[in-house]
Structure 1
């Protein structure tokens, strides 16, 4: 069986297009298919659309609806937990992940020693320039300073074997960053490149600010480089301050103690104060992650599934 996990947040407009195209592609796949849609606290009629899909295809369409918006990472985790297939794929409902790649991905995973076939964009055409710049910067930073390599342009759209999915599910951390987790668990992975596609309908829920916070979380979750950098710059600043202090004392002994230099002194104080606040923020980010992990809160809360719909009937 092939399990197709689809996280949904306000995807009412895109769902009909997605299901139609997937059904066309499904006819060329020898595997039986189950859809697992995860409604991540949508504000539109996504849940009603999922109920209708389940009624039309009760043996193939399953859905999970959260009590609120928990984020895409939680939706992916819930979908993987619910998947029962031997092969599991993650896809977005907006058709930016090309379904026509699935037959090629299945063939590749069944005819070679590969545990995962991922996808990556060849370029970032159609994406705002500032967003593309920071995306490339993120991958450069995380690969340079982190212990886990992440492929630039890689999508969540990937086909995985059951052992790999079980390994991912064994990582029950609250602060999740799937791109890093996919790489961290290992397994043989190959990538297929494709040209960037626009959404088939609706609007993206990812703003620049939300992507920025997501990237910061990825760096913090899979690298302690920011802490190392803070300690390094702090050490350099201390050494520079000691050298400056020695210089000032010697100058005062030889030439007296002039009263000039207040602007430069204030600038230095403000600069050092800014550095301290920056480093406290970095440390605070790590402490915050630890704080959330120690609470042992659930990654998501389910409000409704297709089983509840059957009970109502």
Structure 2
């Protein structure tokens, strides 16, 4: 295991994001976001918008057939697929058959925003992970347990191109341990999960720990209390998926996504106060943050804290 690296602007500038090839949106990749339910349709809007805000070229979203037209109007930049839904208002696991082809055509697939039923989400995620390796996957919320349903061989076939974004309670469920045990040693827990699941792990909290299957680790202490708000995790997952679609490596996309999410929270806290800003406001901060982080020129009043 290598030393844990602190996420800072200087560190991120040393691992720059891929530059777009020309001005064509195709050169910035395609994201498919799968999720939503009748009770939480907005998670898809947050995640999809976040993917576009980090520069992904094309956005596709798949959600319950009954809410797809509404989502298409709310996010006019996206192509929206309506798929089979359960009587309870979630995506039916059988929808995986219709989604395998579009998933295979994308640079990144995000599964989980707005999905409430863990068993259904896990079954759907496990089925979509059977697609030909190549796309990067981000598994959020209820979908994360789909990865643990695969045997080691099927997890390894993705070559570490899977990212999961659990908080301490979700991590405890994935590993069969207590939340208190996760919180007692979050770094060791993240490293263990990354090795076992063959995935990049972002263990979210006031301090976020990132680990990859090769034993590398990063820590982000840059967040703020206001980021603990409904929908915030959907935006983070969208940032990571959008960066994967652009061609960033999984650990790189996760590090950039985690840091920019935290910096967006700090900027909103300065503008509005430490509590009360909304998850929907987070993505709008990202283009300027990303531009600042990509610049090595003179001081900028908008540049993130060093």
State the TM-score, normalized to the length of structure 2. 0.31
Q: Which has the higher helix share?
A: 1
Q: Which one has the largest radius of gyration?
A: 1
